[in-house]
Amino acid sequence: MTLFSDSEWNAIADRSVEDFRTLLRFETVNPPGNEGEAADWIVQRLAESGVESRVFRCGPDQLRPNVVARLKGDGTGGGPLLLTGHIDVVPVELEHWDHDPFGAEIHDGYLFGRGAIDMKNMVTMCLTITAALRESGARLTRDIIFAAVADEEEGCTYGSKYMVEEHPDEVRAEYMLGEIGGFTLDVNGVRYYPVQVAEKGICQFRMSAHGDPGHGSMPHDAMSTIRLAEALTKLGTTRLPQHEVATVRENIRLLAKTQKAPASLVLPLVLNPKLSALILKKVIPDRGLANTLAANLSNTVSVTGLRAGQKTNMIPGTSTATLDGRLLPGQTSQDLFREVEAVVGSGFTYETIREFEGIEGGTDDPFFEKICANIRRHDPDGIPLPYMIPGFTDAQYFSRLGTKCYGYSPLRFPAEDEVKFTELFHGHNERIHVEGYRWGLRCLWDLVVDVAVAGD
């Protein structure tokens, strides 16, 4: 169904690009966040289109804002659809940027700025769509909730986590669209659009080795430092057991089906626990790809901190490592500790720092089908590819309200430019192709109209 003429739509897209640039100029670097002025501007921009919004503040001095707006639907099309993005961004290393990361400058068709793809693009697209729906007067068949949240880059505490825990009725939805997906990914000349349907969980913990204290002049064979070092060496050189996740299986199946030999033949073999170690180590030439695949097949642990001893001539009785453990969906902290213990042996103590389980939205859902159809409609050669990220996003928290979460912030990069989304994400010279942004805006608009606007 068409709500705007071509020229009306072009004007909406022009305004959206300018709004996007405005949002990029707010320095919302987290830490500390500083999302306040950007949030105020979002409220004002929504108001200009007749959309009322509320700001939910939290954190020290109530400085962290979350903007939420709701367009009411009659519910005949289903439960609410949450359109969401975070307005904070990661820090920059200025010396590596060719242009001001907060200048929103356009050069050679690219708009430069910290947040250009992570993820003020999605925030602005959701803002534009919310405003345009209101201005169109369209009758909605489900509520549309727009939530621009704080603090994702430091773990969501003052953003999605706060909203879900303190104001769940404001953000509870049947479906969520957010990051990280919908971008072009070229693999051997085939164009894919990864759609995020799963995220790993977390089990960050301390692991301590114990031994006999003593004087540094008298080494012995029960030193906690050595026990810990030996255990960590084993952990660093052993892959934890493989577990199959439906999203990963589907991802690899589809990749293999659409690639040529030898990739089409080799890829499915990584699902075989007996062969995967060999394939990952020897057969896949791209280390980045091999590491990503490995992270998708097992729980993982990275040693990120070490602490032992106070004095050079004292052998400490306890030595401790900090580990960042990541859990496949369906796995728990207890599962991970069992797997770690199987590698390092007994005698260590474990203390959990932070834990939550992974999530999986599922590909056998009509909403996921709508996303795939949306991609095919706007790029007939593009292949929608369900995938799991090894990290986590706001979806971790929104999913706790029963929401099915998908990472779909459509965005196209021209193939000939060889600009890679994955390298720009948190990278230097973060930028977005302006025409690719307008393309994505149209994709997302058509998807939202498809699932939430009554036909006539």
Alpha carbon separation from 177 to 19, 30, 49, 254, 327 (Å, rounded): 20, 22, 22, 22, 23
Using CB positions, name the residue nearest to Zn ion: 118
118 binds Zn ion (CB under 5 A): yes
Cα atoms in the Cβ-side hemisphere of radius 13 Å centred on 385? 28
Residue 444 CB, shortest distance to Zn ion, in Å, is 16
Residue 159 CB, shortest distance to Zn ion, in Å, is 11
State the Cα–Cα distance between residues 93 and 96, nearest whole angstrom.
Answer: 6
Phi, psi of 36 (to 5 degrees): -55, -55
Residue 433 CB, shortest distance to Zn ion, in Å, is 18
Would you tell me the crossing angle of helices 120-136 and 36-48 to the nearest 10 degrees? 20
143 binds Zn ion (CB under 5 A): no
Residue 199 CB, shortest distance to Zn ion, in Å, is 12
State the Cα–Cα distance between residues 388 and 248, nearest whole angstrom.
Answer: 7
Among residues 46, 81, 119, 163, the one that binds Zn ion under rule CB under 5 A:
119
Residue 171 CB, shortest distance to Zn ion, in Å, is 17
Q: Which CB, 146 or 205, lies closer to Zn ion?
A: 146
- Looking at 118-126, 259-267, 307-315, 360-368, which segment touches Zn ion (CB under 5 A)? 118-126
State the Cα–Cα distance between residues 162 and 181, nearest whole angstrom.
Answer: 24
CA dihedral over 109, 24, 372, 151, signed as positive or negative? positive
Q: Which CB, 184 or 409, lies closer to Zn ion?
A: 409
Q: Which CB, 160 or 276, lies closer to Zn ion?
A: 160
Could you say which residues in the range 167-186 bind Zn ion, by CB under 5 A? 179
CA nearest to 263, candidates 254, 271, 255: 255
State the Cα–Cα distance between residues 429 and 38, nearest whole angstrom.
Answer: 21
Bridge partners, residue 191, by sequence: 186
State the Cα–Cα distance between residues 403 and 79, nearest whole angstrom.
Answer: 10
Could you say which residues in the range 10-39 bind Zn ion, by CB under 5 A? none
Residue 86 CB, shortest distance to Zn ion, in Å, is 6
430 binds Zn ion (CB under 5 A): no
Are the beta carbons of 166 and 104 closer than 8 angstroms? no
Residue 107 CB, shortest distance to Zn ion, in Å, is 23
432 binds Zn ion (CB under 5 A): no
88 binds Zn ion (CB under 5 A): no
Residue 118 CB, shortest distance to Zn ion, in Å, is 4
125 binds Zn ion (CB under 5 A): no
State the Cα–Cα distance between residues 355 and 352, nearest whole angstrom.
Answer: 7
394 binds Zn ion (CB under 5 A): no
State the Cα–Cα distance between residues 173 and 405, nearest whole angstrom.
Answer: 9
Are the beta carbons of 84 and 149 closer than 8 angstroms? yes
- Looking at 29-37, 94-102, 115-123, 308-316, which segment touches Zn ion (CB under 5 A)? 115-123
- Looking at 113-121, 215-223, 234-242, 346-354, which segment touches Zn ion (CB under 5 A)? 113-121
Q: Which CB, 119 or 203, lies closer to Zn ion?
A: 119
Residues at the interface with Zn ion (CB under 5 A)? 118-119, 179
